[in-house]
């Protein structure tokens, strides 16, 4: 039998991965009907909002949704209908780190994947290709197959594919338009290879044919890729601490290192720490996998990457306190940026949350401004970071502002926590005039022109550079 020609796709999970990925598939494959389903009604309503106030921010995403929505792209809370109609289903649900039970704090919580899989088995009345897109440990596809086969109706066959997503938030649309690689894993049976071919044909509408069918064990590639990226950030951040102590400049060091073609220049920017939904979670997953395989040294090695990231955030908060004459009690600190990186509204594991919690515990007053993150999200994150403090108490210490200029007014210090381009272009003279003196700036993202700000009168502290104003 020839591989199935896919005409209807359903994506379970309308989040940061499912939403952009399947919107791009719909755009590039106008002959395929794509329905993205989610149990979260507020999220689906936002995807369907008449003014395109989408639930996530990604440069270029609105334009994609504008072109495809209502044509061959649909968003719905009717999960069952989406499953029933589709011939190919992406499972793109969340896989957070487990909070309790075996592997708590390390292993991935596969409950959402399992529930979605069970739903497919219950609802499907015809054969489906089921594509695991969530980041899951090796052998999850086998569990999915067992669940599907044990619960399916007669004459329904399920072919499971693994198709990890490598997009980075902030550049998701560009990444999806021209991916570095598309990996598709399948069983090496004729049915598995055919299912893989069907998915390849979907991507072939815009991606050059360099995807390969692989045995399902290659799943570890994604954990490994994210671990290597995060390790690179922690390595450069570890060097930034050394630079601060020895009088070197991390930007220059990184630049010089990047000239080595074996290393390359990308992902060598020191910062206040990595965040996002993937890096920490995937490394902890790798730690868990290593421990399960009785490889404690390997587990300790990868755990250290996360510990270095925590250290970097702690170190930065401490530097703020030390510089402000060892106390920030009652002092106003403006935190510019709340998202975990620029060009996204995602705040998961954002370094800003840790910094603000540290400032709160030092009894500072904190003004926050972010161009994309909703006020509601900020309050939710701050509440989660300090579960023992009632929201009213947090609100006495923290103010969310409508602009960077407003956030900096009457502040003693400005902390740049996210590298939004607009922070580079603020009217820093006006900011200086509105602040208490001496006015401090702490650049956690190597974003601003420190010399220019020093000429205005600021005392500037930059990550990876010594505190002396001469450097």
Binding-site residue positions for NAD(+) = 13-18, 38, 43, 93-97, 134-135, 169, 278-281, 348
Q: Is 446 left (phi over 0), alpha (psi -120 to 50) or beta?
A: left
Q: Does 54 bind ligand NAD (CB under 6 A)?
A: no
Q: Which is nearer to ligand NAD, 418 or 462 (CB)?
A: 418
226-255 positions binding ligand NAD, by CB under 6 A: none
CA dihedral sign of residues 469, 259, 274, 167: positive
Q: Which is nearer to ligand NAD, 284 or 414 (CB)?
A: 284
Q: Does 173 bind ligand NAD (CB under 6 A)?
A: no
- 205-220 b/e (C-beta count within 10 Å ≥ 16 → b): eebeeebebbebebbb
Residue 254 CB, nearest approach to ligand NAD (Å): 24
Greatest C-alpha distance within the chain: 76
Measured distance CA(384)–CA(365) in Å, rounded: 18
Residue 142 CB, nearest approach to ligand NAD (Å): 17
Q: Does 12 bind ligand NAD (CB under 6 A)?
A: yes
One of 30, 39, 197, 319 touching ligand NAD (CB under 6 A)? 39
Measured distance CA(328)–CA(335) in Å, rounded: 14
Q: Which is nearer to ligand NAD, 250 or 278 (CB)?
A: 278
One of 53, 115, 217, 300 touching ligand NAD (CB under 6 A)? 115
DSSP reduced 3-state for 166: coil
Residue 116 CB, nearest approach to ligand NAD (Å): 4
How many other C-beta atoms can be found within 10 angstroms of the C-beta atom of residue 302? 22
Nearest residue to ligand NAD, scored by beta-carbon proximity: 15
Residue 287 CB, nearest approach to ligand NAD (Å): 16
Sequence-distant (6+) residues with CB within 8 A of 467 are 244, 319, 323, 461
Total residues binding ligand NAD (CB under 6 A): 28
One of 25, 54, 93, 320 touching ligand NAD (CB under 6 A)? 93
260-279 positions binding ligand NAD, by CB under 6 A: 277-278
Q: Does 328 bind ligand NAD (CB under 6 A)?
A: no
Enumerate the active-site residues: 278
DSSP reduced 3-state for 182: coil
Query: Among the candidate windows 114-122, 208-216, 306-314, 461-469, which touches ligand NAD by CB under 6 A?
Result: 114-122
CA dihedral sign of residues 286, 292, 296, 297: negative
Cis peptide before 327 (omega within 30 of 0): no
Q: Does 18 bind ligand NAD (CB under 6 A)?
A: yes
Q: Does 345 bind ligand NAD (CB under 6 A)?
A: no
One of 32, 73, 167, 417 touching ligand NAD (CB under 6 A)? 167
Measured distance CA(222)–CA(282) in Å, rounded: 8
Q: Which is nearer to ligand NAD, 136 or 213 (CB)?
A: 136
Sequence-distant (6+) residues with CB within 8 A of 14 are 36, 37, 38, 40, 43, 44, 47, 55, 75
CB 373 within 8 A of CB 337: no
Query: Among the candidate windows 109-117, 403-411, 417-425, 428-436, which touches ligand NAD by CB under 6 A?
Result: 109-117
- Supply 351's token pair: 């370094």
What is the helix, strand, coil percentage profile of the chain, to 5? 45, 15, 40
Residue 38 CB, nearest approach to ligand NAD (Å): 4
Q: Would you tell me which residues interact with ligand NAD (CB under 6 A)?
A: 12-18, 37-40, 43, 79, 92-95, 112, 115-116, 119, 134-135, 165, 167, 169, 277-278
């Amino acid at each position: 039998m020839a591989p199935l020609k896919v005409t209807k796709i359903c994506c379970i999970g309308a989040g940061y991965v499912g939403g952009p990925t399947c919107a791009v598939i719909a755009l590039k494959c106008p002959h395929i009907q794509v329905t993205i389903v989610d149990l979260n009604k507020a999220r689906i309503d936002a995807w369907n909002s008449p003014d395109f106030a989408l639930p996530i921010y990604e440069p270029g995403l609105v334009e994609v949704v504008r072109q495809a929505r209502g044509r061959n792209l649909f968003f719905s809370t009717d999960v069952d209908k989406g499953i029933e109609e589709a011939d190919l289903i992406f499972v793109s649900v969340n896989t957070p780190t487990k909070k309790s039970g075996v592997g708590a704090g390390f292993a991935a919580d596969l409950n959402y994947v399992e529930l979605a899989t069970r739903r497919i088995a219950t609802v499907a009345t015809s054969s489906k290709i089921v594509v695991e897109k969530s980041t899951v440990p090796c052998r999850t596809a086998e569990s999915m197959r067992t669940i599907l086969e044990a619960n399916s109706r007669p004459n329904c066959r399920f072919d499971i594919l693994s198709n990890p997503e490598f997009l980075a938030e902030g550049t998701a649309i560009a990444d999806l338009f021209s991916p570095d690689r598309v990996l598709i894993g399948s069983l090496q049976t004729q049915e598995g290879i055919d299912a893989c071919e069907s998915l390849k044909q979907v991507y072939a509408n815009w991606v050059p044919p360099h995807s390969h069918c692989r045995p399902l064990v290659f799943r570890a590639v994604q954990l490994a890729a994210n671990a290597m990226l995060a390790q690179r950030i922690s390595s450069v951040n570890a060097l930034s601490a050394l630079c601060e102590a020895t009088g070197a400049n991390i930007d220059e060091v990184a630049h010089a290192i990047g000239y080595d073609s074996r290393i390359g220049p990308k992902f060598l920017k020191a910062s206040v720490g990595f965040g996002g939904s993937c890096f920490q979670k995937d490394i902890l997953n790798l730690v868990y996998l290593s421990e399960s395989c009785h490889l404690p040294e390997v587990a300790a090695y990868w755990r250290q990457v996360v510990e270095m990231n925590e250290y970097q955030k702690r170190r930065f908060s401490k530097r703020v306190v030390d510089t402000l004459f060892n106390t920030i009690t009652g002092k106003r600190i403006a935190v510019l940026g709340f998202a975990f990186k620029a060009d996204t509204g995602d705040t998961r594991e954002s370094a800003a949350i840790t910094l603000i919690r540290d400032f709160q515990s030092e009894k500072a007053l904190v003004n926050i401004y972010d161009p994309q993150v909703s006020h509601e999200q900020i309050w939710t994150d701050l509440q989660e970071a300090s579960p023992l403090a009632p929201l009213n108490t947090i609100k006495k210490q923290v103010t969310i502002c409508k602009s960077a200029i407003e956030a900096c007014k009457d502040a003693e210090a400005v902390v740049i926590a996210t590298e939004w381009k607009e922070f580079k272009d603020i009217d820093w003279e006006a900011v200086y005039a509105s602040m208490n003196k001496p006015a401090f700036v702490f650049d956690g993202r190597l974003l601003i022109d420190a010399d220019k700000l020093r000429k205005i009168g600021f005392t500037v502290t930059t990550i990876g550079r010594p505190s002396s104003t001469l450097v």
